[in-house]
Amino acid sequence: MGKENEFYTRLENKGVTRRDFMKFCTLLTATMGLSSSFIPKVAEVFAAPKQRPSVVWLHFGECTGCSEAMIRTMYPWTDELVLDILSVDYHEIIMAAAGQQAEEVLQSTIKKNAGEFICVVEGAIATANNGIYGKVGNRTFLEIAKDVCPKAKAVICQGTCSCFGGVQAAKPNPGGYKSVSEVLGIKTLNIPGCPPNPLNLIGTIVNYILLGKLPELDNLGRPLFAYGKTIHDQCPRRSHFENDEFVLEFGSQEAIMGFCLYKLGCRGPETYNNCPTAKFNGGTSWPIQAGHPCIGCSQPGFWDEMSPFYKEM
Ligand code: FSX
Ligand code: SF4
Ligand code: F3S
């Protein structure tokens, strides 16, 4: 109980009420597809962490948007919650160490926690000319991935780039960028999106800590709780897509949301993600709600197969 009280006092000192925190846990529990009876258990994972798995967070070819989305997430304090439940031992963006010192941290972490740490990867890996088009600390992404990933207990790909290649692998792809699973020939847990919703990674980690296992995945390695349905299946603009003669009721969800964006090139019918329910920025909005068609950012083949954008499929 002492630990929990300390946690809530810490939150209060940041101006976060217990109510705000429980609201977040309710959203997270629903996103994870668990019943509401799990809300107190989810809260406990953060408030009284029993174990803090070691995490090595690698950055390859990418825009860092995935980390930015997590750090500047909907609730400004969520990133700290993640740092509370994980022991993030290596993460180039947030760690204090730099240069040689940082590389030593990486080596000592993978040695000390071999077979036990979780490796989160952002970004695709350059493979052309032995991978010389992407380096960190004088080692190619390719060398780093080959060194670190096989020693991890699980490899979680955060963002479309590490999952499927993403924008780095778009034609003509002179660097020969590929996804982590393609390069290493391993199965990765994939959380696609450019950027992915931070809730989907947090839900995956909480699932692991709470239930002792990774969530159920589809054939592309994506957690079913987040990627089990298409955007279109959950879209509030959908009624217009299926019935041209739909009459708007003043103040109805449809009237607020507006019409279907299919003719503007919406890729919602072929894109699997939970954007309509999880939304971004603390549940404020998501692309289609904001009036922009889905561009299929979380699908394999994004970017080439989804572009030209704004053209009907
Ligand atoms: Fe890719 Fe992420 Fe898009 Fe950017 O790390 S999924 S380019 S949001 O940064 O990898
Ligand atoms: Fe489907 Fe896109 Fe139209 Fe929504 S806006 S109903 S996702 S085609
Ligand atoms: Fe991406 Fe489409 Fe969601 S563009 S953010 S998958 S609505």
In a domain, 253, yes or no: yes
DSSP annotation of 51 reads: -
* Residue type at 286 in one-letter notation: W
In a domain, 180, yes or no: yes
Assign residue 236 a region (left: φ > 0; alpha: ψ between -120 and 50; beta: otherwise): alpha
Whether 220 shows a pLDDT value over 70: the answer reads: yes
* pLDDT for the residue 48: 86
More confident residue, 251 or 88: 88
Q: What is the CATH number of the domain that holds 266?
A: 4.10.480.10
* Residue type at 94 in one-letter notation: I
Ligand nearest to the CA of 168: 1
In a domain, 22, yes or no: no
Q: Can you tell me the distance from the alpha carbon of 26 to that of 36, in angstroms, rounded to the nearest whole number?
A: 7
In a domain, 172, yes or no: yes
Q: Average pLDDT for residues 42-54, to the nearest whole number?
A: 89
Q: Average pLDDT for residues 281-288, to the nearest whole number?
A: 87
Q: Are residues 85 and 204 in contact, defined by beta-carbon separation less than 8 angstroms?
A: no
CA of 90 to the centre of ligand 2 (A): 40
- From 244, 262, 263, the mutation candidate for ligand 2 (largest count of ligand atoms within 8 A of CB) is 262
* 204 and 114 within one domain: yes
Q: Where are the beta strands (DSSP E) in the chain?
A: 54-59, 87-91, 118-122, 125-126, 135-136, 139-140, 154-158, 177-178, 189-191
Ligand nearest to the CA of 125: 1
CA of 192 to the centre of ligand 1 (A): 9
* 153 and 243 within one domain: no
* 235 and 156 within one domain: no
Q: Are residues 230 and 268 in contact, defined by beta-carbon separation less than 8 angstroms?
A: yes
Q: Are residues 69 and 196 in contact, defined by beta-carbon separation less than 8 angstroms?
A: yes
* 128 and 253 within one domain: no
Q: Mean pLDDT, the chain, as a whole number?
A: 90
Structural domain including 129 reads: 49-225
Question: How far from chain centre, in Å, is Cα 57?
Answer: 13
* Residue type at 289 in one-letter notation: Q
Share of the chain above pLDDT 90, in %: 69
* 204 and 104 within one domain: yes
Nearest-atom index, ligand 3, CA of 286: 7
* 251 and 132 within one domain: no
Whether 130 shows a pLDDT value over 90: the answer reads: yes
CA of 195 to the centre of ligand 1 (A): 5
Residue finishing a domain among 209, 225, 241? 225
Q: 179 CB less than 6 Å from ligand 1?
A: no
CA of 193 to the centre of ligand 3 (A): 7
pLDDT grade for 81, boundaries at 50, 70 and 90: confident
State pTM to two decimals.
0.92
* 234 and 178 within one domain: no
* Highest mean pLDDT pick, 20-34, 144-158, 247-261: 144-158
In a domain, 38, yes or no: no
In a domain, 291, yes or no: yes
DSSP annotation of 307 reads: P
- From 240, 254, 261, the mutation candidate for ligand 2 (largest count of ligand atoms within 8 A of CB) is 261
Task: Compute the C-alpha angle 219/60/67, nearest 5°.
Answer: 80
In a domain, 12, yes or no: no
Number of domains in the chain: 2
* 66 and 54 within one domain: yes
In a domain, 101, yes or no: yes
Q: What is the pLDDT of residues 166-179, one digit of tens each?
A: 999 999 999 999 99
Residue finishing a domain among 225, 251, 285? 225
* 198 and 55 within one domain: yes
CA proximity to 202, closest of 116, 91, 73, 310: 73
**Which pairing describes strands 139-140 and 135-136: parallel, antiparallel, or unpaired?**
antiparallel
Residue finishing a domain among 198, 225, 252? 225
Q: What is the CATH number of the domain that holds 131?
A: 3.40.50.700
* 290 and 247 within one domain: yes
Structure token digits, residue 96:
């204090």
* 215 and 278 within one domain: no
Distances (CA, A) of 285 to 11, 79, 194, 234: 25, 20, 16, 14
**Which pairing describes strands 139-140 and 189-191: parallel, antiparallel, or unpaired?**
unpaired
* 82 and 209 within one domain: yes
Q: 170 CB less than 6 Å from ligand 1?
A: no
CA proximity to 175, closest of 233, 132, 238: 132
